[in-house]
Structure formats: C-alpha cells, structure tokens
Amino acid sequence: LFARQPVKPIKRLINKDIKGKKVLITGGGGSIGSEIVRKSIICNPEEIHIIEKSEFNLYQIQKELSQCEIKIHYHLVDLKDFSALQSIFDIFDFDTVYHAAAYKHVPILEDNPIAAVKNNIFATKNLLDQCIVSNVSKFVFISTDKAVRPTSFMGATKRFSEMMVYAYTRSKKINCASVRFGNVIGSSGSVLPLFKEQILNGGPITITNKSVERFFMSISEASELVLQAGAMAKDE
C-alpha cells in the first residue's frame, strides 16, 4: 500500500518538545492520540497528561500503560466543557500540548454540522485560551489534508481551526503549529476498514472518483512526523 519507504524521523527534533517536559495530549485514547502518547513516553518526558472524553478509550490506554514508569495522569473530560478544562489547567502546568481530539468521519459530520462546529472549533478555542493563560510553550494542532480545499464540514471545521491557531500565534504570542495528514492506516477515520468490509462482502468498493490516487502512511509514521513538525515550528 505504501509503495515507498517510511520517512525516517529526526530524533533530536522529536525529543525537543517532550524530553524532561510536561506534555498534554488531547484525544489521547484515539488512534492518533494514543500513538503520540506512546512516542512521547519513549522521549522520556517529566510527565504525561491524557485528556479523553470517551470512557472506554481512556480505560484502554490506561490499561495498556499501567506498567509505564513515566508519570501519567488520565482526565475524563470533554474539551467543550470549559470549566472542567479550566480546572485541569488550574492544577497542572504544561510545556507542550498536542491537540489530536476531533470528530473526523466525513459523512457523519455532514449530517451533524452543529456537532462538528462545537467539537472541532469551539473545543479547540477553549484549549487555546487555556494554553494562553497558562503560558504553554508549544501548541501543536493535528489537522487533515481535507482542510486544503474544504468540501465538507469536517474539512471546513479543521481549516477554520487552522486559521484560528495561526491567528493566536500572531496575536497571542504562543508558539503554535498545525500538522496536516490523511489516509493513515489503522486510524479511526481511515477508509481502509470500509474497503476491507466491502471486499469481504464481495464488493463493490466505494470510491470517490475512478481517477483518485490514495497515498497512505502508518500511524507510527504520522505520529513521529507530528512531533517532528511541531518541534520545527517557529513563533512567527
């Protein structure tokens, strides 16, 4: 599926915003967020905080990391709940924040645009506002290739959030970065599980257009590139 060699990460950059630091990862029980958690542990942070609104996802990642020697805090919080989010920032300090929490299933969000706006835009603003108040050093926003020329609510809400992140970087003097990627094998928003199910049922496979070419990356590769790209961001 790749038809290429994975991009090799630069360890120095991956360590930059994590080693010896207090790291917060939203959506840390999801496919991308949980892999960012795993990669962060390897970089030896001072401590890791995971925010997740799915009780089951939080339980799963907590069970997986139960023997981890790094200090990890698990927060069952919906980012749309500003007061709950604020209470976390009042108690703990963070150096680096990776914002992976989002709604990402395109057809579902087409039918639920209000939920898309609340979860992908308002929740991101809540998090950014808390990062400003708490003097967070680095904020990394996980975006999507669908934000390039948005034709869906999912892409449009992600693009809006990218613009918001950029505006905060310019006006609030926080070092932010937005990282785009798509077609991550094994992610909760990946098209591959749908293709697999359709193949097992004898087809046909549903594609957007017969001329479309899809290029894939692994969750591991995507997560490493997120950490690396965030470290390369400059406050400008």
Indicate which residues carry an active-site annotation. Answer: 146
- Edge-to-edge strand ranges of the sheet holding 96-99: 71-76, 47-52, 22-26, 96-99, 138-142, 175-179
- Give the HSE-up count for residue 68: Cα atoms under 13 Å, Cβ half-sphere: 22
49 conformational bin, left if phi > 0, alpha if psi -120 to 50, beta if neither: beta
Beta bridge partners of 218: 185
Percent helix, strand and coil across the chain, each to the nearest 5: 45, 15, 40
**What's the CA angle centered on 32, arms 230 and 140, to 5 degrees?**
25
